[in-house]
Structure 1
Amino acid sequence: MLFRGWEAAVDGPWPDVATVVDGVGGTHLVVTRHALVRQVLADPVTWRPDNALDAVTPIPVAALRVLTGHRFRLPPTLANNAGPSHPEIRAIVAEALHPDRVAAQRPWLTALVRTRVAGIAAELAAGRPVDLHARLAADLPLLALARLVELPDAPVGAVKNFARAALELFWAPLDADRQQALAAEVGRFHAVLREFAGAGGGLAARLRGAGHSPDVVVGALFFLLVAGQETTSQFLTLLLHRLTGEPEVRAGLRAGTVAVADVVEEGLRLEPPIVTWRRVAATDTTLGGTPVPAGSSMLLWLARAGRDPEVVAEPAGFRPGQRGSRRHLAFGAGAHRCVGAQLARLEAAVVVAEAAPLLDAVTVVRPPWCPDNLTFRMPDAFVVRRTSRDTVADTPAGEGA
């Protein structure tokens, strides 16, 4: 993460608002306290979301030409939309992800996860290492999303490659050659989305029926595929890894003294897949006593806000059900709060309930590694192997953050 080098940038405890330079020379005001992060998220007039999807590394002309060749455009739709169209677009997407429709997916999701866990258990019992990210977490949210929101008919691998490429292109420090390669990957699938936006059913048809342009339809699908299902994949992997280092929590799950839902919320607090989110100051103002000039890039440190001692009793400890655990900001807050929160919670709850027993008898062979990225953690793998039940995982939970 880009934050790896930032801890040393501040002498002593982090202030509520700090000036930090990112890996490509961009300057941000980093907001660390829970109350101030929430204040910014709740006020889209003073703190606009216009820069939410801006590329962290400015995209050079060569890569822009590649994107233009695929008619790539990202108009204000969801995360980057503070205009009058946002409530209606959000309402249409939210209806597709209505809690009742999400809850109806539980039997299907449970059966799928249970089948996968049984296969993983057999491989572990045979002495083979297993990548829990690839075998369990990577495609699960995409499959669930596809049941709720009609998506283009494309191979799962192609969609996943597109989503990860977009997260890297827009939020990572990059050189020009890498940007051009990513632009080609993102542009190719964006063309698929554009074709689907004009004739596809489901959510695309509902947005068209409400009078929204193909660009808006593409933008909504883009955000669901990139920052929707991909972040849930990341969270599932990070949470499972964290649980390998929490034997008391796993024991509580077995005994029924620890609730699955509390484990999920504590995981969201301590292992959020979205570490930061951006806003831009619309006017000269102040935040927590700090002067903020108009146009300032505000970087809301969601992960650090989840460890605010004024909110949670034991900030660093994984204590499901503790005071303040559910007040995390992993899904944001305010008008742009994640519309897929209930779906992500369901997927995590099912995975914890079905897969946690696997972790009682494994050693971590390869913990998740996360590349430099301003916002997303993007774990690449999580490999475990079978050991005796009294063997403690040999890699500290949380490594790779």
Structure 2
Amino acid sequence: MLFRSWAQVADDRWPDVARVADHVGVEHLVVTRHALVRQVLTDAVTFRPDNALDAVTPMPVTALRMLAGHRFRLPPTLANNSGASHPAIRTVVADALHPTKVAAQRPWLTALVRGRVARLAAALDAGEPVDLYAELAADLPLLVLARLVDLPDAPVGAVKEFARAALELFWAPLDADRQLALAAEVGRFHRVLRDFAATGDGLAARLRAAGQPPDVVVGALFFLLVAGQETTSQFLTLLLHRLAGEHAVRAGLRAGEIAAADVVEEGLRLEPPIVTWRRVAAVDTTLGGTPVPAGTSIVLWLARAGRDPATVDAPDDFRPGQRGSRRHLAFGAGAHRCVGDVLARMEAAVVVDEAAPLLDGVTVVREPWCPDNLTFRMPDAFVVRRAGRPDPAAPRFTTARVPH
């Protein structure tokens, strides 16, 4: 379960709290009930975030040496910071992603998405298959983030490869050879981040001016690039895939009877890109009547909590606007709630508004495939073509287009 939780959310056999061993024999306390998951997330004293970025597969010495050679470090910064420095760091990052600044990006993003949708519609009309991940969703969050936060001057493809490599290195079941390869890729880009953190403008400069040490500046940039923009591109892909099968919802959007914002919330509830998150018990306590010794690793099953019948009327149905739809925990809760939630919602709403019509009359050629991962779904493609068109002899999957 620990690496396929996103595929088992509707399994009724799971209790509120369960002890489960992972692939290397480490025992975790898996929490499934919405109220209990929220309790853990909002109690940062009893349940600390210190293990949030720990590698779920212990790294061999070779991989650790590779990372050390690149001076790789992940000090307590945002998601893994239970210390006194967290509020100050979060304040600086939150200001860079302030709702007013996010809203100002909406016209630009709408024009960009509208242009891409027009090109994709023409390709579909010509009988070509299109990959809505690669050609629409993959780089959008990164491009928007770059307009809000100064980022290193690196190709989009290189940033995406680094982000996906980091999500795999720290949250996937891996063998030693794969860990070494990923450590080399993550380490190389971490060096780029470190150089930029020392001299870059924007967020990096504001963190330096606030007295934050270099490792913290790097850590903030690392987390924005890895868990920030990458998860949003994943969500856009998963949401479009879900909408492809939700004909009534698309009809409601066309008729103006359903709001894009409500579609986004229901998508976050049913198709969150982050399916679990971790905490560690700081003291001996109990959770749902289960004893929890200090030091226990706790896996919070966010995706299943979103389908808790105690919080939502129709847990497994895609019904935008239904009672409880917005009570999901896709962005977490408490002091470590996702600082980019407004940005992710805005991006998703634009994509729903502009791209949902693309899904009318299409058939799915290739569904998104998600590799084993404790926390992130990481879909790799979503290919569609117009229904009734002949299958091409060799489907042409193109790479993401970057606007000029």
1:262 and 1:90 map into 2 onto residues whose CA distance is 28
8 Å contact from structure 1 (residues 193, 221) kept in 2? yes
CA displacement at 1:65 relative to structure 2? 0.5
AA aligned to 2:161 is: N
Query: How many residue pairs were aligned?
Result: 388
CA displacement at 1:26 relative to structure 2? 2.3
AA aligned to 1:358 is: L
- The equivalent of 1:325 in structure 2 is 325
- The equivalent of 1:279 in structure 2 is 279
In structure 2, the CA distance between the partners of 1:12 and 1:151, relative to structure 1 (3 Å rule), is: closer
In structure 2, the CA distance between the partners of 1:340 and 1:12, relative to structure 1 (3 Å rule), is: closer
CA displacement at 1:361 relative to structure 2? 1.3
AA aligned to 2:255 is: A
Q: Does 1:341 align with 2:336?
A: no
Structure 1 ranges of 4+ moved more than 6 A: 5-8
Matches of residues 216-365 of structure 1 in structure 2 within 5 Å? 216-365=216-365
8 Å contact from structure 2 (residues 4, 374) kept in 1? no
- The equivalent of 1:31 in structure 2 is 31
In structure 2, the CA distance between the partners of 1:388 and 1:253, relative to structure 1 (3 Å rule), is: farther
8 Å contact from structure 1 (residues 276, 299) kept in 2? yes
8 Å contact from structure 1 (residues 145, 229) kept in 2? yes
In structure 2, the CA distance between the partners of 1:7 and 1:258, relative to structure 1 (3 Å rule), is: closer
AA aligned to 1:34 is: H
The secondary structure found in structure 2 opposite 1:369 is coil
- The equivalent of 1:19 in structure 2 is 19
The secondary structure found in structure 2 opposite 1:385 is strand
CA displacement at 1:21 relative to structure 2? 1.6
In structure 2, the CA distance between the partners of 1:5 and 1:211, relative to structure 1 (3 Å rule), is: closer
1:65 and 1:3 map into 2 onto residues whose CA distance is 27
8 Å contact from structure 1 (residues 17, 31) kept in 2? yes
1:12 and 1:162 map into 2 onto residues whose CA distance is 37
Q: Does 1:65 align with 2:62?
A: no
2:4 and 2:52 map into 1 onto residues whose CA distance is 22
In structure 2, the CA distance between the partners of 1:133 and 1:198, relative to structure 1 (3 Å rule), is: same
2:306 and 2:284 map into 1 onto residues whose CA distance is 28
2:179 and 2:168 map into 1 onto residues whose CA distance is 9
CA displacement at 1:24 relative to structure 2? 2.9
CA displacement at 1:291 relative to structure 2? 0.3
The secondary structure found in structure 2 opposite 1:278 is strand
AA aligned to 1:315 is: P
CA displacement at 1:388 relative to structure 2? 5.4
2:106 and 2:218 map into 1 onto residues whose CA distance is 28
- The equivalent of 1:143 in structure 2 is 143
- The equivalent of 1:98 in structure 2 is 98
In structure 2, the CA distance between the partners of 1:141 and 1:6, relative to structure 1 (3 Å rule), is: closer
1:102 and 1:377 map into 2 onto residues whose CA distance is 25
8 Å contact from structure 2 (residues 48, 281) kept in 1? yes
8 Å contact from structure 2 (residues 4, 373) kept in 1? no
In structure 2, the CA distance between the partners of 1:6 and 1:125, relative to structure 1 (3 Å rule), is: closer
AA aligned to 1:138 is: A
For CA contacts below 8 A with separation 6 or more, give which structure has more relative contact order: 2
In structure 2, the CA distance between the partners of 1:153 and 1:78, relative to structure 1 (3 Å rule), is: same
AA aligned to 1:160 is: K
In structure 2, the CA distance between the partners of 1:209 and 1:225, relative to structure 1 (3 Å rule), is: same
The secondary structure found in structure 2 opposite 1:318 is coil
8 Å contact from structure 2 (residues 279, 298) kept in 1? yes
1:289 and 1:70 map into 2 onto residues whose CA distance is 45
AA aligned to 2:180 is: Q
User: What per-residue deviation string (whole Å, max 9, x for no partner) do you get for residues 298-335 of structure 1?
Assistant: 00000000000000000000000000000000000000
Alpha-carbon RMSD: 1.6
CA displacement at 1:27 relative to structure 2? 1.4
8 Å contact from structure 1 (residues 78, 89) kept in 2? yes
AA aligned to 1:119 is: R
1:3 and 1:252 map into 2 onto residues whose CA distance is 35
1:2 and 1:114 map into 2 onto residues whose CA distance is 38
User: What per-residue deviation string (whole Å, max 9, x for no partner) do you get for residues 174-197 of structure 1?
Assistant: 000000000000000000000001
CA displacement at 1:106 relative to structure 2? 0.4
8 Å contact from structure 1 (residues 6, 20) kept in 2? no
The secondary structure found in structure 1 opposite 2:4 is helix
CA displacement at 1:216 relative to structure 2? 0.2
In structure 2, the CA distance between the partners of 1:356 and 1:388, relative to structure 1 (3 Å rule), is: farther
Identity of aligned residues (%): 82
1:7 and 1:249 map into 2 onto residues whose CA distance is 23
User: What per-residue deviation string (whole Å, max 9, x for no partner) do you get for residues 121-174 of structure 1?
Assistant: 000000010000000000000000000010000000000000000000000000
Matches of residues 50-89 of structure 1 in structure 2 within 5 Å? 50-89=50-89
The secondary structure found in structure 2 opposite 1:267 is helix
1:4 and 1:110 map into 2 onto residues whose CA distance is 34
AA aligned to 1:341 is: D
The secondary structure found in structure 2 opposite 1:36 is helix
- The equivalent of 1:399 in structure 2 is none
CA displacement at 1:16 relative to structure 2? 0.8
Q: Which runs of 5+ in 2 are unaligned?
A: 390-404
CA displacement at 1:6 relative to structure 2? 10
2:348 and 2:116 map into 1 onto residues whose CA distance is 15
Matches of residues 57-206 of structure 1 in structure 2 within 5 Å? 57-206=57-206
